[in-house]
Structure 1
Amino acid sequence: MCCLTPAALYSQNGSDSLTRKAYPDSLRHYSIDEVTVYGQNQPSRIIPAQELSGKELQRLNALSVADAVRYFSGVQIKDYGGIGGLKTINIRSMGTQHVGVFFDGIQLGNAQNGQIDLGRFSLDNMESISLYNGQKSAVFQPAKDFASAGSIYMQTRTPRFDRDGKNNHFGVSMKTGSFGTANPSILWEHRFNDRLSSSFNVEYLYTTGRYKFSYTKKNGYDTTEVRRNGDVRALRAEGGLFGLVRNGEWKAKVYFYNSERGYPGASVRQEPGRFRHEDRQWDDNFFVQGSFRKTFSPFYSLLLNGKYAYDYLHYLSDPRLDESTMYVNNHYYQQETYLSAANEFTFFKWWKANLAADFQWNTLDADLVDFVYPQRYSVLTAAATSFEFPRVKVQASLLHTYVHDRTEAVGGSAGDKSEFTPTFVVWYKPWSRPELSFRAFYKRIFRMPTLNDLYYTFIGNKYLNPEYTTQYNLGVTYAKNFDGILRRIDFQADAYYNEVDDKIVAMPTSNQFQWTMINLGRVEIRGIETTVQTNWLFGPVTFNARLNYTYQKAQDVTDRTSEWYGGQIPYIPWHSGSAVLNLGYRGWDLNYSFLYTGERYESVANIPENYARPWYTHDMALSKYIPFKKTALRITAEVNNIFNQQYEVVQCYPMPGTNFKIKINFTL
């Protein structure tokens, strides 16, 4: 069902024609072309999401998903420098492996080390990015969606055609700028008929990855060096089919990513003026996935998902090129098969339930000495229910996880794991007015040790315990529309307490691909998050502001007799925040963004030698939207890190200083 409102017309940004006709009376009449307004049918969110979508996402000075999610509260990004460096996300200090990353509704997997590099996912074809603490507040979803302590959902562009007779949409973009960057992209969307459409997108990225940085010493920065071996050559191709059936829909997607990149490594000077890091990595990532969703009756709905993925990784570290490293020339091959069925039952308008079952099979092959070639079979079943009344909403779920590993070594596999984990969510509105609401949730979940943790040659330990998290959250939301200059305000605040038992912290060594695993035993995390978003209208001028602040105290409480008991865990700042401001005027957009990460420590030993200074960056962008008949052109100029802040997100991995970028987008 489609509704057309004045606000919806305003949001079209001039794309719909408006023709005035003259009439003798005092009333003004307008004849408008027929417009179809598209939007996903979102169930009411008991747990609100932090979301970047549409124009707000386009305005960010961001190249990848990793750059965009920095603007969410409660998030830490581990960034190993430059465009090619590994970029992973940590939500509320619970660890990267506790974050589920979903691509078009199906989780991305990496059974080898459990980490998803968000730097590889471009914003070029991205429609929205959402972050959920706990889990997405929908009952009707696969069992995997219940299985993470926090989740990132990436939704790519879906073809949308108005009734204007056009059956094709084309888009071409080009980005260039500092570091020798060249980033062209092509998009083609086609409509076969009213019930079937397709999309095809190809993007290429090249950058030298070279930039100047100041080398740190004990009392500050001294000499300037050049970051080398950070080049990237990457090709991404996506194709999709989107279909409608009676009371339902289906979609299928194929994804391919190929890259070669250098890893510049840690900036640890061995000789004056020489940082020699020559490690190289080659990747091939391929998956095909599909989903089918249909409502068979007012009582029953079905959701089916399926996926096959193949990942290849080649890592080379050659001491003939860099004498500081050992020789590594390894090849890794991963396969994943995933099947899911979710069944929703609507007993009454206020009572729904879901039964979901997922099966996943993972394999890992490698050319390592004495490698055990592990396979993992995972079966997840979830039962969930929701009760929704005008002023109270309740959701509860129970997830059962069964994991069985097999290896080619006799007695070499870890024991089976079978565990039940619950979640309980409540939402309350104290008055009949909709502006203010309160919420709370409790969730317990665990993650299995990765295949590297258990079986990596000479490092793996098959007796590792799973890592458990327990979350408690209290939150408040206030949202209200206005008719004056201030058009809307959204405010969210959450206070939370998390416990992590048998926590495993992965720390990079001098060879970035190999990690040292440190088991902290127990961590307690206390935090506060706030987000404020406002929209203003001054005649033809629009102004939007988004402010985030996070306070976190994440302490190692493993051993009371330890000298470091109660210390802040590595790389978690006490204070962090961001601001995004946008000013719009007749096709012009001026965007300013600010990121701040406060003081932190590089080790659980909170001593001066491990102290990491606060850092912050300022970015600006100016863009112009130029419509012409049925085509449009957008030109954007960006400057990042305006004040040339010298900083490191991870110790000895310096980030770029001031840099520039030009974008040109043409749509037809």
Structure 2
Amino acid sequence: MLLRLGIFLGCISLGFFAKAQSDSVVLKSVTVYGLPDEKYLAGGQFYALDSALQSQQASRHLGEILAFQFPVYFRNYGNGMLSGISMRGTSPSHVAVRWNGININSFSLGQADFSILPTIAFDDVKVHAGGGSARFGSGAFGGSVLLSSAGTTTNILSVSQEVGSFGRYFSSLKGSFRVGKFSSSSSLYRVQAKNDFPIPGYGERQPHAAYWQQGFVQHAQYSFSNARRVTIDYWFNDSHKEIQPTIGNHNSTDEQDDRNHRLSVFYEQNTTQGLSKVGGGFVDDKIIFNGTLSEMVRWIASASHQYTFKNQWNISGSAEWNHIIGKVKEYGPTSPEEDRVDVAAAIQKTFKKVSASFNVRQPFITHVTAPLLPYIGADVVLFENAAQQWLLSVNGSKNFRAPTFNDRYWQEAGSRDLLPETSYAAEAGLGWRYHNVKVNARGFYQHIDQWIQWIPMEQGIYRPRNVKQVRTDGIEAGIEDQANIGRVMLHAKLSYQFTQAITLETDDTDAASVGKQLIYTPLHTGSGTVSVVYKTWSANVYLQYSGKRYTESSNSSVYALDPFVLTDLSLNKSWTQNQHDFILSFQVKNLFDKTYQLYAGRAMPGRNFNLKISYHLNRKKQ
């Protein structure tokens, strides 16, 4: 029903263009007085995904893009398969992923699958590195990925078509209009691939790895005035995968479908008393594995208010309620339900050269005792003039992750007595800006306690237990520069991270892991982008580096995955005629045909190619 409603709204949007061009008016901008998360998390590290890269690589899933922009590692179970993010030595379940303010991590598995997060679905992507549970709730240990599908009305119509190696095709259609106080934007997308790439060194093609994904994103907004508006966002994503087997396995028949409905509705009001926001949402996540359905349903309500006191103090308060229903066969004959309520407050103050903030959150979860979660941080300008700036950043936080539904309700294995995972984190960084040159370095530390691990018990049955303590620490650094040489613009960005993630304590069944690096956690990661723009031509080089990754808790080098450097290249040509923009792009992925694996036994493709053409019909300037 929701899919039909989404398609109906999209058809209305796309069919309304002709009329909208003749009677549309430009709305006055809505002034938002509230502060962004960056201000309330003073002393923290935020990254913004490059908009040009996001546009050029919109057909890829989000994990592929982030790996080229930031020093993070993704555990991909094959090309286009399950993809989990690892930040600062933590596991994929220790990164909170939020869409329009709603947590979209799986409440059954505990993590987000980045292979079904298509970049085309988002207008804005930000990454917060480090502990942030006081701001973003459960799971924000290693970091948080913040996604927005707020829509844009810059283009009346955008069409994109790609064709690539191994039977890969991608199509997208976007449209928008504005009429009076109402505006709407819609997006449709589909990607499919045979995914039968040659397996390096084996003389055969990858079997049973085809996939397709399609979806619809709708944003609608009605502005009652310059200070009051209501927004509705709906996102439907449907995907199918033949589960890629390990190398040499020709008998796999596993298949999986993911169907996700996500809806958010909010009313915002700006007054002299501050910014108020009230709304809610609905999330329906279905996984159909080999014909067996598992479904997690959530109803969400939230309210928040931000107020500026005497033009000096910024104060924020919020409350959120989630009602969760787990419709999974393995949970037993009845579907378990639970409620989660989060109450949070934050305060931010900017002094002459200091921006400081304090956050606190108290979660309440059915049958779980959750801790109070504080965050304190500050940015201090050490020196500043017209040419350069030195900035010191520090913060400390307490963080937590609630046990998943699988941990608590899995029939004959789950335990309702599990404690939430908790951590204490601290970091400090120094940044230097000299004209267009930006250099930063940051050290971080985190101690994680009560880490939940499924361990073998009696009769070989695995059960979840709070058995693990882990320490993560390291250094991350980056440099960025932009220069103009005649009519040529150059932009370069490089980042590096050194991460130790050491098991301090665990159960006797895994005693060999004590004092060792966590599996699939490289000591060294790096990324880089280099862009050259000349008139209507541009070329981009994308780099991704990962050091050795251990695949066994004993850190045996025999089974470790070798380091690798991946290089992607794109060449782009654009031209404009009145309101019409055209872009032609040719991409080479894995330029040097590197043999590598992101997860043991799962092959990844060698050199491959992609050709893309895009068309944009722009709105007339008023």
TM superposition score normalised by structure 2 = 0.87
| Distance of 1:288 and 1:445 partners within structure 2 | 27
Specify the alignment match of 2:411 in structure 1.
Answer: 457
Q: For residue 97 of structure 1, give the secondary structure of its aligned residue in structure 2.
A: helix
User: Contact 2:415–2:464 at 8 Å: present in 1 too?
Assistant: no
* 1:526 to 2:473 alignment: yes
* 1:616 to 2:612 alignment: no
Quick one: which amino acid aligns to residue 556 of structure 2? I
Q: Pairwise mapping of residues 96-175 of structure 1 onto structure 2 (< 5 A)?
A: 96-134=92-130, 144=136, 148-149=140-141, 150-156=143-149, 158-161=151-154, 169-175=156-162
Q: Pairwise mapping of residues 639-654 of structure 1 onto structure 2 (< 5 A)?
A: 639-654=588-603
* 1:280 to 2:232 alignment: no
* 1:224 to 2:203 alignment: yes
Q: Pairwise mapping of residues 283-362 of structure 1 onto structure 2 (< 5 A)?
A: 283-297=258-272, 299-316=273-290, 329-362=291-324
User: Contact 1:49–1:132 at 8 Å: present in 2 too?
Assistant: yes
C-alpha distance after superposition, 1:16-61 (max 9, x if no partner): xxxxxxxxxxxxxxxxxx9x99999865643341111321323459
* 1:369–1:461 distance in 2 versus 1, CA, 3 Å: closer
* 1:559–1:198 distance in 2 versus 1, CA, 3 Å: closer
RMSD of aligned C-alpha atoms? 2.8
Specify the alignment match of 2:378 in structure 1.
Answer: 426
Specify the alignment match of 1:466 in structure 2.
Answer: 420
Specify the alignment match of 2:485 in structure 1.
Answer: 538
Quick one: which amino acid aligns to residue 303 of structure 1? K
* 1:79–1:463 distance in 2 versus 1, CA, 3 Å: same
Specify the alignment match of 2:521 in structure 1.
Answer: 572
Q: Pairwise mapping of residues 52-131 of structure 1 onto structure 2 (< 5 A)?
A: 52-60=49-57, 63-83=60-80, 85-131=81-127
User: Contact 1:393–1:426 at 8 Å: present in 2 too?
Assistant: yes
Number of corresponding residues:
576
User: Contact 1:435–1:478 at 8 Å: present in 2 too?
Assistant: yes
Q: For residue 406 of structure 2, give the secondary structure of its aligned residue in structure 1.
A: helix
* 1:384 to 2:346 alignment: yes
User: Contact 1:61–1:619 at 8 Å: present in 2 too?
Assistant: no
Specify the alignment match of 2:221 in structure 1.
Answer: 242
Specify the alignment match of 1:266 in structure 2.
Answer: 246
* 1:492 to 2:446 alignment: no
Unaligned runs of 5+ in 1: 1-33, 162-167, 215-221, 317-328, 405-414, 482-487, 508-513
| Distance of 1:189 and 1:51 partners within structure 2 | 25
User: Contact 1:330–1:366 at 8 Å: present in 2 too?
Assistant: no
Q: For residue 258 of structure 1, give the secondary structure of its aligned residue in structure 2.
A: strand
| Distance of 2:473 and 2:375 partners within structure 1 | 19
Q: CA deviation at 1:436?
A: 1.4
* 1:154–1:480 distance in 2 versus 1, CA, 3 Å: farther
Specify the alignment match of 1:665 in structure 2.
Answer: 614
Q: CA deviation at 1:247?
A: 2.2
Q: CA deviation at 1:241?
A: 0.4
Q: For residue 654 of structure 1, give the secondary structure of its aligned residue in structure 2.
A: coil
| Distance of 2:31 and 2:462 partners within structure 1 | 44
Q: Tell me whether 417-426 or 43-52 shows the greater mean CA deviation.
A: 43-52
Quick one: which amino acid aligns to residue 188 of structure 1? G
Sequence identity of aligned pairs in percent? 20
Specify the alignment match of 1:12 in structure 2.
Answer: none
User: Contact 2:149–2:219 at 8 Å: present in 1 too?
Assistant: no
* 1:546–1:419 distance in 2 versus 1, CA, 3 Å: same
User: Contact 1:550–1:576 at 8 Å: present in 2 too?
Assistant: yes
Q: Tell me whether 70-79 or 330-339 shows the greater mean CA deviation.
A: 70-79
| Distance of 2:189 and 2:569 partners within structure 1 | 24
User: Contact 2:369–2:419 at 8 Å: present in 1 too?
Assistant: no
Compare the two structures and name the one with the higher helix fraction. Answer: 2
Q: For residue 651 of structure 1, give the secondary structure of its aligned residue in structure 2.
A: coil
Q: CA deviation at 1:307?
A: 0.5
* 1:102–1:564 distance in 2 versus 1, CA, 3 Å: closer
Quick one: which amino acid aligns to residue 217 of structure 2? E
Specify the alignment match of 1:503 in structure 2.
Answer: 451
* 1:333–1:344 distance in 2 versus 1, CA, 3 Å: same
* 1:377–1:146 distance in 2 versus 1, CA, 3 Å: closer
Quick one: which amino acid aligns to residue 352 of structure 2? P
Give the number of the structure whose alpha-carbon radius of gyration is greater: 1
Q: For residue 173 of structure 1, give the secondary structure of its aligned residue in structure 2.
A: strand
| Distance of 2:86 and 2:207 partners within structure 1 | 27
Quick one: which amino acid aligns to residue 612 of structure 2? K
* 1:255–1:515 distance in 2 versus 1, CA, 3 Å: farther
| Distance of 2:219 and 2:588 partners within structure 1 | 34
Q: For residue 419 of structure 1, give the secondary structure of its aligned residue in structure 2.
A: coil
| Distance of 1:547 and 1:418 partners within structure 2 | 39
| Distance of 2:472 and 2:240 partners within structure 1 | 38
* 1:182 to 2:134 alignment: no
* 1:539–1:397 distance in 2 versus 1, CA, 3 Å: same
| Distance of 1:336 and 1:448 partners within structure 2 | 16
Specify the alignment match of 2:398 in structure 1.
Answer: 444
Quick one: which amino acid aligns to residue 161 of structure 2? M
